[in-house]
Amino acid sequence: MKSNKNNSLLAFGLGATLTLACSAVAAEQTSGPFKWGADLRLREVWIDNVGLDADSPTGDRTFQRYRGRLWGSYAFGDQFEAGARLMWEGRHYQDPPSSNWPVPGFETWYSGGVLFDQITITAKEIGGAPLSLKLGRQDIMLGNGWLVLDGTPLDGSRTLYFDAARATYELRSLGTTLDLISIDQSADTGRFPPSLNGEVEDQTEQHETGVILYGRNRSLIEGTDLDGYFIYKHNRPNLTSRNLRINNGTPFASASDSGDLYAAGLRTDSKLTPNWSVRAETAYEWGTRNERDLSAFGFNSRLTYSLNDTLKNQVHADFEYLSGDDPDSAKDQAFDPLWGRWPQWSELMIYQWPLESRVGEATNLRRFNLGWIAQVHPTTQLLIDYHALWANEQSTRTAAQRVNLSGDGDFRGHLFTAWLKGKFTKNVSGHLVAEYLRPGDYYAENRRNDSFFIRAELNLSW
């Protein structure tokens, strides 16, 4: 009976989304203070050997994702605007069967979470000054999103939101923008505005509050963005039985963090010549995490050469360094990605990080990347990348690390990724992505099976 009920709810949600999306076409074309629109994202996902163990009963996964969003905004003159976006995503898991899942509660047919992932009030030119204020649930991306992009890492990209207040001041004569952001993030969907389907789901493992001061300058050096920032993040544990979290119909264990983290960083993005460009970002972190003193460092960079030909060919080289926890030190040196737990360079690795940390929590990493991008068709872009991955430390402090890591190797493996992205019309886009990981001796002997990730997406937007 439960399966039939979930099937009905899933079908209803998908049908309602399609109906609203079709209605939104005309709505976006109307003029006036009220605007609204919609989109629908359809995905098919295949993953082989999650956890890098071919004998795992839950290692192979096949599922479909259906996400619909409907949004609207109303402008009260030129200075004030209110907006909201309603989101629904349902899933169907073909593999693994629910009987193979290690804890009860796995839903083969997940009828879908329904919630507002945006509710905002925006004020511009406050008091005639170049000051704007945005209050409420909103998406926030700073720089390339290295440390600030995803406030809800456990829900698998169905949302990214932050419950925040953001003040932006423009120093126009200096080509500089200053952002002051206050974040108050609940660990689950139980706080206002609550989910509308009557289910409370975990969005992250702990309650999080924080403050960000972010400055951007675009005039000091021609063709160059210069950013500087300070971040404070407080983690308050959300304690659950056996550290279990539930999201998208899937229960899994993931521990909470506690403590106070501070980060100071610099970022640059520069067009050196018509062909060469470079971007780089570095951050130092300090504070306390899980009752240990933290001192960590990270660096992320890309050098790009553009051929400026008809196919828009580009080649790039990346280097990323995230410090790891020194097993011989009482302090914690593992770099914390803060609100950057999203697939920045790999969809597949998101599923492998829990072998040593948590979902999407990249740390203890040395990454070299070579890649190529080309516009192979007016509607289609091809991206191919190779990543060589190492660990900086052979730390086996936690129970998961002691079981899943070798303790005497530092090569994570070879990672190959390919994307085919298409923008077919104004309203229709999609992609195919494939990734292959050949693990190295950093992982335990029973965690060295090859792994792949394949996804097809169709996106309709209005």
Q: Where are the domains of the chain?
A: 2-461
Name the residue with tokens 């309602």. Answer: 16
Nearest to 64 by CA among 141, 21, 1, 7: 7
What's the confidence (pLDDT) of residue 124? 98
What's the confidence (pLDDT) of residue 24? 44
Q: Is 389:366 a contact under the CB 8 Å cutoff?
A: yes
Q: Which CATH class is domain 2-461?
A: mainly beta
CA distance 436 to 298: 25
Provide the 8-state DSSP code for 351: G
Token reading at 171: 């120093």
Helix (H, G, I), strand (E, B) or coil at 60: coil
299: buried, middle or exposed (CB in 10 Å: 19+, 13-18, 0-12)?
A: middle
The pTM for the full model equals 0.94
Q: What type of residue sits at position 122? A: T
Q: What is the pLDDT along the chain (462 residues), one digit of tens a residue?
A: 445 545 555 555 555 555 554 544 444 545 689 999 999 999 999 999 999 999 999 999 999 999 999 999 999 999 999 999 999 999 999 999 999 999 999 999 999 999 999 999 999 999 999 999 999 999 999 999 999 999 999 999 999 999 999 999 999 999 999 999 999 999 999 999 999 999 999 999 999 999 999 999 999 999 999 999 999 999 999 999 999 999 999 999 999 999 999 999 999 999 999 999 999 999 999 999 999 999 999 999 999 999 999 999 999 999 999 999 999 999 999 999 999 999 999 999 999 999 999 999 999 999 999 999 999 999 999 999 999 999 999 988 898 999 999 999 999 999 999 999 999 999 999 999 999 999 999 999 999 999 999 999 999 999
What's the confidence (pLDDT) of residue 31? 66
What's the confidence (pLDDT) of residue 8? 55
CA distance 447 to 359: 17
Q: Is 307:113 a contact under the CB 8 Å cutoff?
A: no
Count of CA atoms in the C-beta half-sphere (13 A) of 56 = 23
CA distance 69 to 86: 6
